[in-house]
Structures are given as structure tokens and as C-alpha cells.
């Protein structure tokens, strides 16, 4: 086994540990690990990421169902447009993107480079949401906001399309939407977002099964290691301040996003 593969499987463990520690964000490292350590094509990497993200979120969602933290009404309203959008994106939109998008002289913007740059931009946006101190809205303030079905549906469609293109969970977009448009307290919003992420990611992956050749042995091994990391992260959460770690991880994701943009454009 090559050193990059060893680092890749270690990366899978780290992804799970971060998910277990801070409840999200770790999955955004899945695509870079698959592309730069396992040398997997970005389109296939985003597909694999959907599966890893979906299974990881499902583990967290099951735990939150036991704790009765999930608002199923909100999850259903948000999930339906989200999984429709992500399935269509993976089944039709991504395969329809031409291999060469822009050619200017000797410069050629390829599909793979465009996907990685777009993914890096999503990483930058996600990092900002992790670095910023988000103040929890009080229960009283939440009650004054109407349950806005149209905006929840629109947000679901937008998140579904983004998830379909880059293979990330999109929790940094889902959680604010649940707080603002569905009146959910922060803990319930985080818990409900995991169920939404699990549903839309796994259904989106179904679109890839029909269009890509899946290396199931590798994918299941990677996912299994990541899931072990989740349980380690949950255990470590007793001893480590999750909020401080989230901000530090946000800075790491920011640096990674900038690095990916520079690396891909320099190619």
C-alpha cells in the first residue's frame, strides 16, 4: 500500500472524528482526500462523497432520533425538493457538463478543474460559517417567525443542486434555513439537518450508480473507517471543547480551499 493511500485512510478516520466532535463540517474534506490522496476523478470523488456523507449523517441522525431531537415535519418538507434536485443533478446535470468548458489560447478550463474550483469556493463559504460566532436565537424570537414553506422548499432545491455538484452535505446552508424559516431551536436544527443530509445524499448517490462504475470494496472500506471515526469523535467530545475546535477547523478548511484553488488554476 502506498504512503498516499495510508494517509487517505487516515483522512477517512479524521473525517469521522471531526463529524463526531462538532456534528458536521468534516465531510467537506472527503472530496479533497479522495482526489489528492487516492487520485480519484473529481466526478467519481463527489459521488463517493455523497455515499460517505449520507452514511455518516445517517449514523448521527439515528442517534438524534433516539434523543427525540429531530423535527420530522421540517425534515420531510426540506428533503423532498432537496433529494429531487440532487438526484437530477447527479443523473443528468453533472454528466451533461462538457469535458472542456473554456479555451483561451493555451489555457483550457476542464470539467474536473471547474468542479474542484467550485468545490473550493463552497469550502471557503463553509469555513466562514464555522469561524464566525453564530449566536443562538432565543425561543421567544423564534416563535415570531412564521413557518415559511416556500422558502424552505427553495432552500431545499438550492442545497440539493449544490450537493449534487460538489458532493458536500451542505449543513452550513441547511442549519440557518431551519432556524430562520422553520422556527427550530439550534439543537433541533443541527439534529434535523443530519436526517436531511442523509436522505438527499444517499438518494443522490443512486443517480451515480446508474452512470458510474462504483468500486464498492474501496467505498465501503473508506466509509467504515469514517464511521469508526464518528464514534471516536463522540467519545472525545467529552474532553474537548467542540465550539473552539469548530473555529480552528474552520480556519483549516479556509486554508485548504485557497490551496485547492491555487493548485487547480496553476495546472
| pLDDT tens digits, 199-238 | 888 888 888 887 889 999 999 999 999 999 888 887 887 7
Say if residue 33 is exposed, middle or buried (CB neighbours under 10 Å; 0-12, 13-18, 19+).
buried
Confidence of residue 6 (pLDDT cuts 50, 70, 90): very high
What is the distance between the terminal CA atoms of the chain, rounded to a whole angstrom?
27
> Average of pLDDT values for 89-110?
84
The pLDDT score that the predictor gives to residue 23 is 64
Please report, for residues 59, 104, 242, 256, the alpha-carbon distance to residue 23 in angstroms, rounded to integers and kept in the order given: 11, 43, 9, 20
Q: Does the structure show a pLDDT above 90 at 101?
A: no
Q: How high is the pLDDT of residue 26?
A: 65
Range 175-199 average pLDDT: 81
pLDDT at 21 over 70: yes
Provide the 10 A C-beta neighbour count for residue 211. 13
- Exposed/middle/buried for residue 168 (C-beta within 10 Å: 0-12, 13-18, 19+): buried
Q: Which three cell numbers mark 115?
A: 468542479
Q: Write down the residue that cell numbers 458532493 correspond to.
A: 167
Rounded (10°) angle between helices 149-166 and 111-131: 130
* Res 102 pLDDT > 80: yes
Give the predicted TM-score (pTM) of the model. Answer: 0.78
Sequence-distant (≥ 6) Cβ neighbours of residue 42 within 8 angstroms: 31, 35, 111, 112, 115, 116, 119
What integer pLDDT is reported at residue 216 of this predicted model? 95
Tell me which range, 80-89, 185-194, 231-240, is most confidently predicted by mean pLDDT. 80-89
Cα(251)–Cα(72) distance, integer angstroms: 33
Question: How many domains, the chain?
Answer: 1
The stretch 168-185 carries a mean pLDDT of 75
Decide if 198 contacts 57 (C-beta within 8 A).
yes
pLDDT at 24 over 70: no
Mean pLDDT, rounded, for 239-263 = 81
How far is residue 267's CA from residue 89's CA, in Å, rounded to a whole number? Answer: 26
Q: Give yes or no for residue 10 having a pLDDT over 70.
A: yes
> For residue 252, is pLDDT > 70?
yes
Output 25 or 145, whichever has higher pLDDT: 25
**What pLDDT was estimated at residue 94?**
84
Question: What percentage of the chain has pLDDT greater than the value 90?
Answer: 14
Range of the domain at 222: 3-266
pLDDT at 266 over 50: yes
pLDDT attached to residue 144: 46
Question: pLDDT per residue over 109-167, tens digit each?
Answer: 888 888 888 888 888 887 887 787 555 544 444 444 456 778 778 888 888 888 888 77
Q: What pLDDT does residue 118 have?
A: 86
Q: What is the pLDDT of residue 183?
A: 77
Give yes or no for a contact between 25 and 170, defined as CB atoms under 8 angstroms apart.
Answer: no
| CB contact at 8 A, 54 and 30 | no
Amino acid at each position: 500500500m502506498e504512503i498516499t493511500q495510508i494517509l487517505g485512510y487516515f483522512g477517512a478516520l479524521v473525517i469521522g472524528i471531526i463529524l463526531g466532535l462538532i456534528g458536521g463540517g468534516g465531510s467537506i474534506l472527503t472530496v479533497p482526500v479522495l482526489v489528492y490522496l487516492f487520485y480519484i476523478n473529481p466526478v467519481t470523488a463527489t459521488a463517493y462523497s455523497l455515499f460517505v456523507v449520507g452514511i455518516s449523517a445517517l449514523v448521527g441522525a439515528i442517534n438524534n432520533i433516539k434523543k427525540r431531537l429531530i423535527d420530522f415535519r421540517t425534515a420531510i418538507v426540506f428533503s423532498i425538493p432537496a433529494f429531487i434536485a440532487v438526484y437530477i443533478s447527479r443523473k443528468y446535470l453533472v454528466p451533461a457538463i462538457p469535458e472542456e468548458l473554456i479555451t483561451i489560447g493555451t489555457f483550457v478550463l476542464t470539467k474536473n478543474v471547474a468542479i474542484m474550483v467550485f468545490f473550493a469556493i463552497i469550502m471557503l463559504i463553509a469555513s466562514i460559517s464555522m469561524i464566525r460566532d453564530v449566536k443562538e436565537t432565543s425561543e421567544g424570537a423564534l416563535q415570531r417567525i412564521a413557518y415559511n414553506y416556500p422558502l424552505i422548499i427553495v432552500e431545499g432545491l438550492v442545497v440539493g443542486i449544490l450537493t449534487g455538484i460538489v458532493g458536500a452535505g451542505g449543513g452550513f446552508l441547511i442549519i440557518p434555513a431551519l432556524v430562520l424559516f422553520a422556527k427550530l431551536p439550534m439543537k433541533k436544527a443541527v439534529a434535523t439537518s443530519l436526517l436531511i443530509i442523509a436522505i438527499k445524499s444517499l438518494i443522490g448517490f443512486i443517480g451515480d450508480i446508474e452512470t458510474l462504475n462504483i468500486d464498492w470494496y474501496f467505498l465501503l472500506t473508506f466509509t467504515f473507517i469514517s464511521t469508526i471515526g464518528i464514534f471516536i469523535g463522540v467519545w472525545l467530545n467529552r474532553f474537548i471543547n467542540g465550539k473552539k475546535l469548530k473555529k480552528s477547523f474552520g480556519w483549516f478548511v479556509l486554508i485548504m480551499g485557497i490551496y485547492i484553488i491555487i493548485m487547480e488554476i496553476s495546472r
